[in-house]
Amino acid sequence: MSFLNLKADRSKYPQRDADGKMQIDLDSHKFVKLWQGPNHPGVTGNMSVELTLAGDEIVEAKTHVGYLHRGFEKLIERRLFIQGMQTSIRMCVAEPDSNEYVYCTAIEELSNVEIPEMAKWIRTLILEMARLQSLVRVVPGQAGTFGLGLGVQWGVYMRELILDRFEELTGGRVYHMFMTPGGVRGLLPDGFKTRMEENLKEIESFAHRIDDLIFNNVVFKKRAVDTAVIDPSWIDNYGITGFVARSAGFNRDVRKSFPYLIYDQLDFEPKVMEYSDIYNRAKVRWFDILTTVDLIRQIMRKMPEKGDFKAQTPNVLHWTAPKGETYVRSESSRGEYGMYVVTDGTNKPRRVNLRGVSYTHAICVLEDLLVGVNIADVAAVMVSLQTCPPEIER
């Protein structure tokens, strides 16, 4: 199949001892230690991987995070419930709305607040818009890791289109802070749906061009196919969720298995593929772009025109929640994004703990997946798992 075989047999390095443990002796000059990151381009966000190489092949990888740690979970423990919202969003930069959703929902669940129908629709719309802006940037970004910059620029452009809509709807481009415990902070502005539809058309057309540019590209195929394959046995063992699980044949999607908001009223089937290599992990997300475009259309078509969008909550300055705990999850573009929240009867949460997708994908999965991978493909493997350090070091 391949006319250039880059993969020489290095099976004798590193040698293993009787227990099967790798013997890496840096002084033997057979190995090189190399840090990829924590500068941002070439890795996903500010993290780094400590690589041990034999030649140009990785024999050991260790993920290092800590370049961002801002202690948000700790800060939220000192914030009123309403204030925790604005802090929680910063735990994931690329798709902050999942934070808004899980945080608000956990607080609402623990204080027995029921949000109005309209708020559910708008929240769903926001979550899908967030998914879309994340996917359109990261899918072409996969080709970017192999040196194809054009797709990345298209991706950034498409993302900006959605950010324009976010700006119009929520008043913010990157951090939206539009959900609030009890509902949302407004209705759709006039003409929003028309402008959104125009953007969706544009994105669809770009999606097809991306298909041409990337997925039918000989270089991309050459590098992505059969690289960093995830064995189906890993899925449960490593706690893999989201598109990575779907690319390996597991139909796992929180929107389907634990339908939240109004997902049970929408008609969609998340794409499932059978073989999880870099190519399919990108392709499955390419299908997700189309699904998401369709979902946004469905939402805009089915949602009510008017209605209350926020329940009357207690005075936010004194809001207290009874003692309790819960775990709330949502499906982000990367996988299961959950939050464990504990309240102790005061006006501040006792504990807020985010379960970021990358907590597994960027650490135990990445570390094991990189073994045997060529040094040139490390960034590609990271993007293929859509690793995101802010959700690891909350």
Residues 46-65 that bind other proteins (CB under 8 A): 65
Residue (55 or 172) nearer to other proteins, CB: 172
Query: Which one of residues 100, 108, 336, 377 is an interface residue with other proteins (CB under 8 A)?
Result: 336
**Smallest separation (angstroms) from other proteins to the CB of 183:** 9
Is 119 strand, coil or helix? helix
d(CA 306, CA 101): 21
Residue (42 or 186) nearer to other proteins, CB: 186
> According to CB under 8 A, which residues from 169 to 188 bind other proteins?
169-172, 175, 177, 185-187
Residue (31 or 309) nearer to other proteins, CB: 309
Alpha-carbon dihedral of residues 110, 88, 134, 287, nearest 10 degrees? -20
Question: Which residues are CB-contacts of 94 (< 8 A; sequence separation ≥ 6)?
Answer: 134, 137, 138, 388
**Smallest separation (angstroms) from other proteins to the CB of 291:** 21
d(CA 104, CA 26): 50
> According to CB under 8 A, which residues from 74 to 113 bind other proteins?
74-75, 77-80, 82-84, 86-87, 109
> According to CB under 8 A, which residues from 345 to 374 bind other proteins?
350-351, 353, 355, 359-360, 363-365, 368
> According to CB under 8 A, which residues from 309 to 328 bind other proteins?
309-310, 312-318, 324-327
Residue (82 or 136) nearer to other proteins, CB: 82
> According to CB under 8 A, which residues from 202 to 231 bind other proteins?
209, 212-214, 216-218, 221-222, 225
d(CA 222, CA 161): 32
Q: Which helix (H) or strand (E) holds 63?
A: strand 57-64
CA distances from 11 to 241, 299, 334 (A): 31, 53, 33
For the record, the structure tokens of 172 come out as 């913010």
The 143-162 contact track toward other proteins, x by CB under 8 A, reads -------x------x-----
Residue (106 or 380) nearer to other proteins, CB: 106
18 burial (CB, 10 Å; 0-12 / 13-18 / 19+) is: exposed
Q: 221 phi and psi, to 5 degrees? A: -60, -45
CA distances from 24 to 18, 178, 305, 347 (A): 14, 51, 64, 53
**Smallest separation (angstroms) from other proteins to the CB of 363:** 5
> According to CB under 8 A, which residues from 259 to 278 bind other proteins?
none
Query: Which one of residues 55, 239, 270, 372 is an interface residue with other proteins (CB under 8 A)?
Result: 239
Residue 307 CB neighbours (<10 A): 13
